[in-house]
Chain A
């Protein structure tokens, strides 16, 4: 078995106007089964994907934001959200949905998978990935 690779999914697009956000999430869900190191980065309009209170009843499109919560169940523990992108859009961490996972190394304590980090750290995470998939 080859060594585990670091997969980084970079999300820079808002949901619903185009399908990229939804189909990106579908890749992440499938990819979680491959036992690779998985991280997601939400940058630019990608941060809107995690906004609370999405209600798509009026547009006839499925609201997929609850699916992000399932990521914790798939052991995806690293959703990095760029602080500068949030601030430019008048958002803060309090405006984001909750995504939690159970930490097996800490008596299965529930922890947030969402990590708001600065642009420089996002750049470090990008530079540390083996495979970058952009949506």
Chain B
């Protein structure tokens, strides 16, 4: 049993990502969408924390949202995987429940 968590807020604006990572279980997936994609950036004040949590959960970023915001894949934290909407749907199907951190 595992959960897909979605986060749609910049970690520089709200605690949604941090709270999500603090509650996620090993084996869960965290998908950053909308303004949440800024949480996947490397070289930021949040990168180290996100990287650390990324050892227990799988981190994803919604690629169309990243592209819209000018975030190239070369700017992402190592291990953060880009998915398209089809991949988003696959993650929803793969995990037992989806929890949105609004």
Contacts of A126 in B (CB 8 A): 3, 23, 99
The distance in angstroms between the C-alpha atoms of A30 and B59, with both chains bound, is: 35
Contact check, A134 vs B100: say whether CB atoms are below 8 A apart.
yes
The distance in angstroms between the C-alpha atoms of A44 and B1, with both chains bound, is: 25
Per DSSP, are chain B's interface residues mostly helix, strand or loop, or mixed? mixed
Contacts of A130 in B (CB 8 A): 97
Residue of chain A at shortest CB distance from B101:
A134
The distance in angstroms between the C-alpha atoms of A129 and B2, with both chains bound, is: 11
A11-70 with Cβ < 8 A to chain B:
12, 43-44
List 12 additional A-B contacts (Cβ < 8 Å) besides A119-B22, A123-B22, A127-B3. Answer: A12-B101, A43-B23, A44-B15, A122-B23, A126-B3, A127-B1, A130-B97, A132-B3, A132-B98, A132-B100, A134-B99, A135-B102
Chain B residues with CB under 8 Å of chain A are: 1, 3, 15-16, 19, 22-25, 97-102
**A–B complex contacts, Cβ < 8 Å, 18 sampled:** A10-B99, A12-B16, A12-B102, A43-B19, A43-B23, A44-B15, A119-B23, A123-B24, A126-B99, A127-B3, A127-B25, A131-B97, A132-B98, A132-B99, A132-B100, A134-B101, A134-B102, A135-B102
